[in-house]
Amino acid sequence: MPVPQPNVHIMHSEPVMTAGLMSLLAEAGEFVLTAHGRQPQAQPHAQVLVADYDSGLALARQLPADRFGQAARVLVITQRDKEWEVRTAMDAGVHGYLLQGCAGDELVRAVRQLSQGMRYLSEAVTRCVADSLSRESLTGRETDVLQLLAKGCCNKSIARELGIGVGTVKTHVKGLMSKLDATARTHAVVVATQRGLIDAGGRPGTPFVRGRGPGVAQQALQ
């Protein structure tokens, strides 16, 4: 008796991406494919949901606990490759993460593995997660200080803004510079921006830098 083909539902927000994903996966001849724009009613029957970053995270957070291996698996395909973005997706419950520049055969491989109940991270994403887990997270206060450093504030201004002593500010600056392996205050801001811990305007990248554990991101590497 032939094994039924997995149902794969494309929910990417960009129509061009949806068309490309449908075409690449159709060439493999392994899946029953549906697109949310034309067949939204097919979503509950899918084993794999392929989505953009924001949609994928929302889906992963809404899915019921997979107690019997019946819940759909979520594959995110995105251009977002910052450390905090990947870890946020993993902690939200996303099962697979691919960058948009991936090859067609990797896309097929990822969907196949998710349909079999496994996880899939592209090589670049795996390196990103592994690297982030090897670093010590910033505390909430260190992140507050970092944001103000990014805005050009001096120690006295930071102390006044946060209601703490100048000596305490110096301690936090020393701590965050050590954790970021930075040689100067401006270097710390550059490193934090490159890692996605803050954006160019000094806003925090994501709550996990405030001391959240690795959660699902750690499990993804096991």
Residues 59-100 pLDDT 10s: 999 887 654 556 899 999 999 887 778 878 888 899 999 999
Backbone angles phi, psi at 202, to 5 degrees: 90, 5
**CB-based contacts of 63: which residues, under 8 Å, 6+ apart?**
71, 72, 74, 93
Characterize the bridge pairing of strands 73-78 and 96-99. Answer: parallel
pLDDT one-digit tens code per residue, 6-48: 999 999 999 999 999 999 999 999 999 999 999 999 999 999 9
Question: Where in the chain are all domains bearing CATH 1.10.10.10?
Answer: 140-210
Pairing state between β 32-35 and 7-11: parallel
Compute the average pLDDT of residues 195-202: 65
Rounded (10°) angle between helices 83-92 and 53-62: 30
Angle at CA of residue 131, ends 126 and 132, nearest 5°: 100
Nearest to 58 by CA among 94, 14, 82: 94
Angstrom CA distances, 196 to 59, 82, 83, 117, 170, stand at 23, 6, 6, 30, 23
Torsion sign across C-alpha atoms 111, 116, 119, 123 = negative
**What CATH number is given for 7-133 in this structure?**
3.40.50.2300
pLDDT of residue 132: 63
| pLDDT greater at residue 152 or residue 129 | 152
What CA–CA distance (Å, rounded) separates 179 from 72? 38
Q: Which helix (H) or strand (E) holds 48?
A: strand 48-51
In CATH, 140-210 is 1.10.10.10: yes
In the chain, which residues fall in CATH 3.40.50.2300?
7-133
Tens of pLDDT, residues 159-187: 999 999 999 999 999 999 998 889 999 99
